[in-house]
Structure 1
Amino acid sequence: MLRSVLLATALSALTLGAAQAQTAVKIGVLGDRSGVYSDISGEGSVVAARLAVEDFAKLDPSVKVEIVSADHQNKPDVGAALARQWYDRDGVDMVIDGVTSSVALAINQVTREKNKAFIDTGAGTADLTGPQCTPNTVHWVYDTVALANGTGGAMVKRGGDTWFFLTADYVFGQTLQRDTSTVVTKNGGKVVGSVKTPFPTADFSSFLLQAQGSGAKVIGLANAGGDTINAIKQAGEFGITEGGQALAGLLVFSSDVYSLGTKVAQGLVLTEPFYWDLTDGTRAFSDRFAKQMNGRKPTANHAGVYAGILHYLKAAAALKDVKDGAKTVAKMKEMPTDDPLFGKGTIRVDGRKIHDMYLFEVKKPAESKGPWDLYKTLATIPGNEVFRPLNEGGCPLVKG
């Protein structure tokens, strides 16, 4: 009898010890599930998150992860309210995705207030690592400065020295125009005009006519997702590129080019940090992703969700507690990043994730071997060249 009691006590202690050793993490995927950015974000971000959790479990089963998701509808007030509810009531430790800059800035502030963690993978504004930087946010994937340096710099060097912008009328479009204009003028070019377009909008005809009438060599599309697709399609209908003007898609995802087709998008120059067909690692992940997404390949945002969660979970495993968001993010910055989609990298003190970017050109139909065979690589741009220097962003976390 005594032996049985001792054995039961020992087993109970072992069970309790195992339970105590397990770190519980709850992650909220907060993106656009129904609007113009749903192909960039949407269900694909949730699939990418689950794949990251699945892969990390093979490395370290001591971290128990729960994924929840919601649609912020591209509205800052909705995004902020959802993040607040998740943090206050639902026990979410980290929010990821955040596509749409105005929403990401709202999530950024709530996250700092609640001392949780936010990994922005979908929104572009470089202000997240500039004046709006916090100890609780990491900016993965890309930003408006990197896009400007990549596409803007390349177009000027190719002779596109006069620009007219079609700019989505919210913080992302305005920031992208600002940062690209800086690169254009720095490289000897000139901005001859711009027009703000409603976000979102289906009809770009009047705006394209203004751009056409400006005589600018380059029409810069400071928009994304469905807006970019509509603008490029309608520019084709107006014969703008046939008339000698070039289109610069300042934020273009592979899903956009897939929707347009190579016949419409051929020759478009763009900058991305990820493409499904870059390496064995990107191809293997993309094949797994496509099996759950009816054959669709992942966007750079989806890749960022996967890679960002992997790195966050590494920090969680090291700390064994993620309740202090700033402490968790500090651990992420301390650890070098390494994953099959972005390779080796670092996270700076301002929260900027550093990795290479790629200058791509959309293939001609005759060059493409299939519906997702979209890009040829023009150049690899080192991360320390394409992202803004640490001391130029105005982040209050940067000393000196």
Structure 2
Amino acid sequence: MKKIITILTIAVLFGCQEKPKGITDSKDYDQYLVTNKTPGKDAIHKDLEFWKARFNNDSTHLMEMSRLSGIHAALFGSTGDISELKTSEMLIKKAHNVSARNKDSYLRSLAHNYISQHRFKEAQVLLDSAYTYEDNRKETEMMLFDVAMELGEYDRADTLLGNIKDPKDFNYLIRLAKWSDHNGNLDAAIKYMEQAKQIAEDRDNKGLKLWVYSNIGDFYGHAGRIKDSYDSYLKTLAIEPDNHYVKKQLAWMVYSSEKNTEEANRILDSVMVNHKAPDYYLLIGEMAEFDGNTSEAKKQYDMFLKATDNPSYGGMYNTYLISLYAETEPEKALALAEKEITNRATPETYQLLAYSQLKAGEKEAALKTIEEHVAGKTSEPKALFHSALVYKANGMEDKVAPLKEELMGAFYELGPVKAKEIEKL
């Protein structure tokens, strides 16, 4: 993100050890932290039992297979259990194989599943195949845009965005927002997201409102509009009280903006009762690191490594693993970063390669990677931070200074631990 407005004051983020007064209030969200009430998950399980009874493992029951695949995907979303996503994949494949019609629909469903698994190249192959069918081509083009962005195929993404252009369409606007954000125009991205939000509210569409409230909350956070971000997250929880993603974002807000690790951990504890995802350990570890508890931080990072040691995850956590290994086993990070580049060659994956090269003692190679694949191609704070570290290691202080100045406005997004490192640049 190019334009990231500084939130709070630098004095609060650095130097001052007192917890800054923030905008969050536990009274606003305590009702959503109750762990024995999961209306969303309960409804999904009820649907699961109904459709399982109708399916009874009969491979000719296409409708039942389709419904069950969606239910298992929803269970993955509500529980974090990767086996649910794999079950959904299996059911979609079965349905596609026996169906005589709507092949494009099954291809898109399977591509969506693969996107969730970060299998972007495979998803693109499926979508290219779906595009050969005459029906629902716009829907296919929208998904092809999403995949092109993940793969770093920005010229193709631009063309696809032009194909689906409709300033009054929700799905077009949210993709235009993503495109604007990629190009460093966060103000425009927020403008388009707000237009999409208006459409969702005018239609009073629960699903669209749920999506746009949570996502625009992220955009507001990137822009330093923490109160707007907070309010948007609360709107999400009012619709879906057990939304684990937004609760994690609230935990980040309480930690990064207000330095209240105790409260942030309390929020995460409530989330982890019903939702199991490895990345929670990373955030808990980072907060322990911020608090100076290195043994607890190591324990949490080790728990993340253990949790992700599951072949079913594939490459879903590669970027997290690269960042973690870079600090402890740089050669391992380097090998994984090179593998990730083959999966999706974006500026964001290249900056991880550069960081791994730097940590492995290959500062000249890291500089070459930054200059050829990162500089001027992304404004993501992590990429700018790693670029600054590479420039500093190569004695290019003239390149470090402007990046440091820009990063001073990204403290909220990068977090207090990285903020301290930025001050030392």
Q: What TM-score, normalized to structure 1?
A: 0.26
Give the structure with the larger strand fraction.
1
User: Greater helix percent: which structure?
Assistant: 2
